[in-house]
Every structure is written in C-alpha cells, then in structure tokens.
Amino acid sequence: MPRVYMDANATTPLLPEVVEAMRPYWMEQFGNASSIHQDGQQARAAIERARATMAELFNCHDAEVVFNSGGTEGDNSAVFGLLHPGDHFITTSIEHSAVLQAAHRVEQNGVEVSYIDPGPSGLIDPEAIRAALRPTTRLISVMLANNETGVLQPVEEIGKIAAEAGAFFHIDAVQGAGKIPFDVRRFGCHLLSISGHKMHGPKGTGAMFVRRGTPLESLIVGGSHEHRRRAGTENVAGIVGLAKAAELAMHSLDDGTFTRLAGLRDRLQEEILRIPGTGVNGGWAGDRPVPRVANTTNIWFDNLEGEALVIALDLKGVAVSGGSACHSGATQPSHVLLAMGLDKTRARASLRLSLLKTVTEADVDYVLKVLPEAVEQLRAISPVAAGTLG
C-alpha cells in the first residue's frame, strides 16, 4: 500500500539538501559561535551567512533577523515582549494557540484584548481591526495564512491601519513561509515569526523579523546572543538547515512549483466536492474566491465524524488532519471553523488536506481513489447519519 502524506501544514520532511548543509555542523565544525578561536569563528560565519539568507527571504537588514526555536517562541515573544498592564491588544479568534494562549495570559495580567472574528469565508475584515482600535492599542497580531483553511489575510491593509494608529504590528507567518513571497516592508509589520519545520527545515528552529528600533523585551534572558534579543548558545546546525530550507523555498517560489501545486490541490478539491454533502471551508466569499496558499484545502462532509475519516484514511495509507483538536484528552471542534460560523457537527466533520510541494499526480490519484470509498463506508455505519449521536 502506498503512503501519501497530505498533512504538510502539521510538518514537512527535511529536504536532502538541508540534511547535507547541516551535516558538518554537528561534528567537524562544532564550535560555539561566541568563542574567539577558529572553531568558534567558523560557527559564527555560518550563522551570519544564514542570517543574510533569512534577510533575503524577509526583505530586511541582516541585523533585523533573530534566530529562535520556532513559531511558538516567535508568537510568544511578540505578545510577552511588547505588552504591559494597561495596554490594549488586538488579535483574531482564528490565530494559532501560540498567540491565543499568550493573549489569555497577558489578559490575566491587566492587558485588555480584543479578538476579531472572521467572516464565513475565513477572512478578517481590516475595518473590524480599525473599529477595535483604542488610544491604548499597543499591538496588533494577525496571521498571514491560516493553518486550517490556508486563507491569506489582508496583512498589508492591516499594516497600514497599524501605522496610522501608531501601534506595533506582528504577523504569524508560519504557514505563509515558503508558500508566498514575503516582504516585511510591504506588509508594514514590526515583527514577523516563521518556523523551520513547516518549510522543509528542522523542527525546533525558527526566525523572527524584528524591525530596527522595536522595543521588544527578550523572552529568554542570559547571554548577549542574537543582538541581546534571544539568549542561548545558537543551534548552528539548525540555523544552517533553516537557511538552506529558506533558500530552496525562494527557488520554489520562482520555478512554477506553486502553480503546479495549486493545480493539484484544485483537482483534488474539485473531485472531492463531487461527493454529495460536501463543501469547502474558506474557499469562497459569496461567488468570489478567497486568496489561499496553494497547498491547502479544508472540506466538510455531512453525515460522518471527521476523526473517523482521518483514521479510515490513515489505515488506507493517507495522512490528513481533521477539524478537531485534542485539548486535555477531549476532542474539541476547531476554534477556527467555529469562529467562521460552522456548527459543531460540521466543524467536527471537516478534513484538512495540505500538500507537500513534492506531491505527485499519483499521490492525488490515490487519495481520490480511497477517499470517496472511505466516506461511503463511514456514512453507511455513521451514528451521525443515523441520527443517534447527540
């Protein structure tokens, strides 16, 4: 049985070039980048080369790149590093928990937080952000691409609103990195977080754009690493791997990879939608398509449990994610889909298919063979279909 991985928004494998780039930095060139001897300076040079690559990805100065441990740390740093009691913070109800949980914590410590809901299309209306502004608004944080629906948010317009209001603007760009071209100046943000493992780099690596002059307090203190923005001995191999992944991602953005990927995603989506009782979450605003990253679609299926479909597909060799997340041992319908107005049953009966950029026609053919069969089998025995599930 083939194994087809369609859960790229959860994580991606390292590309061979990334492994090769990292290899020397574990054994031969193991130096500590803070040491003044040659071994240390080799490590320092590797980090600074990687920084220049990340600056190219972000379109910023090298000194505005801070290496860290990934998306969660970047998101936490933005919230904890800028907000103080009495400040007002605007974010959205569809952010990743790395932003939402940080928001809940600062809320307990005297920060007022406004959570903006999306429309049914999954899009945040910039005017809703404007309407939420207060004289005390210090930070706005909105994601670039939603991890569940792939919907791209109007960050440029939000950046302009932030600038007019004199507020800092953070973008969680974890799901946009390597999928759409970046430009932090065009986005108008002060902070932007990305994660290595979502773009074929190593897990536990990430980077943040921190605009020069932004008074961001460091989340992790200790040594004077990363221009005093993030203490801790640098993960040299990880940083080199992240930069290699970024370099490869920049090539992919230019060589037609994403047009091919969008074509395969669209074929997959169209064919699945032929199954009766299905629809796309976040694909459309009325009859207007909503901008999405090329690799993601999120589809609801009437009369079945999404989790049962995830398991059935796994048994047939296909890895995807459902519309529920496990919190404290119980599965809860996705907060993103609920915020878009789906009812709990439909949110639970949703599936996220997120394609790797290395996906093949044969992978899509295989999923299109096994998915309709699995849906039919599950509907035949479904307590949801039989109306026996509360």
Residue 98 touches ligand PLP, criterion: CB under 6 A = yes
Binding to ligand PLP (CB under 6 A): which residues in 286-345?
Answer: none
Residue nearest to ligand PLP (CB): 71
Binding residue for ligand PLP, selected from 141, 149, 175, 350, defined by CB under 6 A: 175
Residue 12 touches ligand PLP, criterion: CB under 6 A = no
DSSP code of 292? Answer: B
Residue 147 touches ligand PLP, criterion: CB under 6 A = yes
Minimum separation from the CB atom of position 135 to ligand PLP (A): 29
Taking the C-alpha atoms of residue 35 and residue 32, their distance in angstroms, rounded to an integer, is 6
Taking the C-alpha atoms of residue 313 and residue 150, their distance in angstroms, rounded to an integer, is 21
CB count within 10 Å of CB 318 equals: 24
Q: CA-based angle 245:247:154, to the nearest 5?
A: 90
DSSP code of 197? Answer: G
| CA nearest to 220, candidates 40, 68, 63 | 68
Binding residue for ligand PLP, selected from 6, 143, 290, 371, defined by CB under 6 A: 143
Instruction: Specify the residue, 72 or 121, whose C-beta has the smaller distance to ligand PLP.
Output: 72
For this structure, is 60 an active site residue? no
User: Binding string to ligand PLP for residues 15 to 54, with x set by CB under 6 A, is what?
Assistant: ----------------------------------------
Residue 174 touches ligand PLP, criterion: CB under 6 A = yes
Of 30-38, 71-79, 249-257, 347-355, the window that binds ligand PLP (rule: CB under 6 A) is: 71-79
Taking the C-alpha atoms of residue 92 and residue 305, their distance in angstroms, rounded to an integer, is 27
Taking the C-alpha atoms of residue 104 and residue 220, their distance in angstroms, rounded to an integer, is 20
Partner residues linked to 133 by β-bridges:
none
Minimum separation from the CB atom of position 15 to ligand PLP (A): 17
Q: CA-based angle 128:132:138, to the nearest 5?
A: 125
Residue 118 touches ligand PLP, criterion: CB under 6 A = no
Binding to ligand PLP (CB under 6 A): which residues in 191-250?
Answer: 195, 206
Q: Which two tokens stand for residue 285?
A: 């605003």
Taking the C-alpha atoms of residue 380 and residue 363, their distance in angstroms, rounded to an integer, is 26
Minimum separation from the CB atom of position 54 to ligand PLP (A): 15
Catalytic hit among 1, 27, 36, 326: 326
Of 68-76, 230-238, 331-339, 375-383, the window that binds ligand PLP (rule: CB under 6 A) is: 68-76
| CA nearest to 203, candidates 69, 358, 74 | 69
Q: Which two tokens stand for residue 181?
A: 């071209």
Binding residue for ligand PLP, selected from 51, 96, 190, 292, defined by CB under 6 A: 96
What percent of the residues of the chain are helix, what percent strand, and what percent coil, each to the nearest 5? 45, 20, 40
Residues lying near ligand PLP in the complex (CB under 6 A): 70-72, 75, 96, 98, 143, 147, 172, 174-175, 195, 206
- Supply the residues annotated as catalytic: 326
